[in-house]
Amino acid sequence: MAVDEETIRRIARLARLELGEAEVARLADEASKILEWVEVLGRVETAGIEPVSAVIPKPHRWRADEVTDGGLGEALLANAPARAHGFFAVPKVIE
């Protein structure tokens, strides 16, 4: 499957990536090649085979409903670019 430049621009916008025109062309080419390569798998007959969600069968572990975390204080906010009154502070995002 070929990926066109418009698709690359849309994906970049959704991922909040800023791309130059040269990069767009290069990525369209690379993405197309990657998809072509993966499409090889399409040749395998998979009708009637259950999708594999885990290689090692393992019963899921559920957590008991107990409060065991939180109250991190400084550790939580330490890396925040900005903060105020215990909140994370970010540029105004209201629409």
Partner 1 sequence: MSTGAIIEGRTGPWEMVLGLEVHAQVISKSKLFSGAATAFGAEPNAQVSFVDAAFPGMLPVLNGECVRQAVRTGLALGCTINRWSRFDRKNYFYADLPAGYQISQYQHPVVGEGALEIALEDGSTRTVGIERIHLEQDAGKSIHDLNPELSYVDLNRAGVALMEIVSKPDMRSPEEAGAYVATLRAILRAIGACDGNMQEGSLRADVNVSVRRPGAPFGTRCEIKNVNSIRFIQQAVAFEARRQVAILETGGTIHQETRLFDPDRGETRSLRSKEDAHDYRYFPDPDLLPLELSEAFIEECRASLPELPAARRMRYEAELGLSPYLARLLTADMEQSVWFEALLAETAARQGRPAREVAEKAANWMTGELFGALNRLGLGIGQSPVSPAQAAALLAMVADGTLSGPLARQVFELMLETGEDPAAIAEARGLKQVSDTGALEAAIAEVLAAHAAKVAEYRAGKDKLFGFFVGQVMKATGGRANPALVNTLLRQALG
The yes or no reply on residue 45 touching partner 1 (CB under 8 A) is no
The reply on whether position 74 binds partner 1 by CB under 8 A is: no
Distances 60 to 19, 57, 70, 87 between C-alpha atoms, Å: 41, 9, 24, 35
Q: Is 94 in the site for partner 1 (CB under 8 A)?
A: yes
Question: What is the C-alpha separation between 42 and 57, in angstroms, rounded?
Answer: 25
Q: Is 85 near partner 1 (CB under 8 A)? A: yes
* Number of Cβ atoms within 10 Å of the Cβ of 31: 17
Q: Is 14 in the site for partner 1 (CB under 8 A)?
A: yes
Nearer to partner 1 among residue 2 and residue 76 (C-beta): 76
The distance in angstroms from the start CA to the end CA of the chain is: 37
Instruction: Single out the segment in contact with partner 1 by CB under 8 A; choices: 18-26, 30-38, 41-49, 50-58.
Output: 50-58
Q: What angle do CA 64, 65, 71 make, to 5 degrees?
A: 115
Site residues, partner 1 (CB under 8 A): 10, 13-14, 16, 53-54, 58, 60-73, 76-77, 82, 84-95
